[in-house]
Every structure is written in C-alpha cells, then in structure tokens.
C-alpha cells in the first residue's frame, strides 16, 4: 500500500508517494527523489530544515 507525504521547506510545499519505503511518484521539484528511500528523502528534508508528514487517505 502506498502513502502520500507532504514535504514543506521555506521555498516549497509538495508531495511524494511512497510504496514499501521507496518514492514512486513525486512533484516535479522533487523528481530527483523517485527511486530513493523515504529515509534518504527525510534526511534531505531535515538538512533543509523542513518538515515531512504522512497524509491521511481520503475516505
């Protein structure tokens, strides 16, 4: 099952879709993250002093 995460930094807000710990879809600004692990993307977000949070699925 895939989860959607919202990434927010001081210059952007976007989403990535993660399946089994791997980014499978991303907003164009995060295109580099497709194929990377969620841990790697999270580390990048922390380095940029941003936030990453999982979004609840719509009912």
pLDDT computed for residue 1 by the predictor = 84
Rounded Cα distance between 1 and 43, Å, is 23
56: number of Cβ within 10 Å: 8
List the domain range (segments joined by +) for residue 40.
2-54
34 φ, ψ to 5°?
-65, 125
Contact assessment for residue 23 and residue 34, using Cβ atoms and an 8 Å cutoff: yes
Q: Is 38 inside a domain boundary?
A: yes
Q: Is 29 inside a domain boundary?
A: yes
pLDDT computed for residue 58 by the predictor = 81
The predicted-structure confidence for 1-53, as pLDDT tens digits, reads as follows 899 999 999 999 999 999 999 999 999 999 999 999 999 999 999 999 999 99
pTM across the whole model: 0.92
33 exposure class (CB count in 10 Å sphere: 0-12, 13-18, 19+):
buried
**Cα 11 to chain center, whole Å?**
15
Domain tally, the chain: 1
């Amino acid at each position: 099952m895939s989860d959607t995460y919202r990434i927010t930094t001081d210059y952007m807000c976007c989403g990535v879709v993660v399946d089994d710990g791997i980014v499978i879809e991303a907003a164009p600004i995060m295109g580099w993250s497709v194929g990377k692990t969620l841990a790697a993307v999270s580390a990048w977000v922390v380095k940029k002093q941003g936030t990453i949070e999982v979004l609840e699925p719509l009912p």
